[in-house]
A = this chain, B = another copy of it.
Amino acid sequence: MESTNSAILTSTDGLETAPTKFIEAGGTNFAYRTIGVANGVPLVLLQHFTGTMDYWDPAVVNELARHRSVIVFDNAGVGASSGQVPDNVEQMAVDAVAFIGALGLRQVDLLGYSLGGMVAQVVAAKHPALVRKVILANTAHQGGGNDLMKVLQAAMSQKQYPDPRMVLFFNDSQDGIDAGQAFLKRVYARQENRDPEGGPDVANAQAKAIIVFSTTQDPENTLLKAITQPVLIVTGSNDTMLPTDSSYAMFRILKNAQLVMYPDSNHGAIFQYHDRFVQDVEAFLSR
């Protein structure tokens, strides 16, 4: 089943220059950008804690957009979108589905990164007809635990790197540092119409959502067992924010999952290994 609206999904721009567009759904004015061309099932990206559309890596987004339309957006209350950031993953999923519906898309693939991966789990479980395949990147399952506060505190209190993502996303090894610096260059490549940064209200509501989701026990794994779509799980060898163990646990619980883990990498594994990640996602989406 393909999109009903191919005009909306075709763009000649990369992520660095794609114009920000807006669409209204359920009282929220959602900001979004499309990269790539309408071709089969579009891929919708679900973003991490405090991240806007400008936090995605062009090396991932533009390469994935070679064969499909990739849609990035600010969920309710984030970046250039209107509305309030909800303090729970379930409402973020409701908002994401409203946005997808407003675009007229009948079937999508989801790539959820970190907090976005939690939202992707809920959307996939609740909307089996809407979601064809799911990529869960550097994320955790219900009850999978998190070290968000500890890791954030350490990243904010260090003075070595002005951008905390150097510490949050990459290992303190030469490969990690090199990858982090290359990543930051890529995400700052966009010069015009960057999204507004979020304030403490965004961070507080999203932090609560992550902490509640990843510490709420789901002993019967009700959520993961409700996901019937094929899932690709990807993470780093040493994710200090959302534990690598949680990705392994998800793989063991999900009915139809493939697991990929990269060496010497942290919460930003998919950006550090953007070439491998794009290759792995391509293989997963095309088979």
User: Cβ of B259 and Cβ of A260 under 8 Å apart?
Assistant: yes
Contact status of A258 and B248, CB under 8 A, knowing A279-B283, A283-B276, A283-B279: no
Number of copies of this chain that the complex holds: 2
Stretch in A70-78, A111-119, A206-214, A261-269 touching the partner: A261-269
Q: Give the distance in Å from the alpha carbon of A248 to the alpha carbon of B255 in the complex.
A: 18
Of the residues B252, B260, B287, contact of A258 by C-beta under 8 Å: B260
Query: Chain A interface mostly helix, strand, loop or mixed?
Result: mixed
A169 CB, min distance to chain B CBs, angstroms: 18
| Shortest beta-carbon contacts, A-B, top 7 | A259-B261, A256-B263, A248-B248, A260-B260, A257-B263, A258-B263, A258-B262
| A-B CB contact pairs (8 Å), 10 listed | A237-B257, A254-B263, A255-B263, A256-B263, A256-B264, A258-B263, A259-B260, A259-B261, A260-B260, A276-B287
Which A residues fall within an 8 A CB radius of B? 230, 237, 244, 248, 251-252, 254-264, 275-276, 279, 283, 287
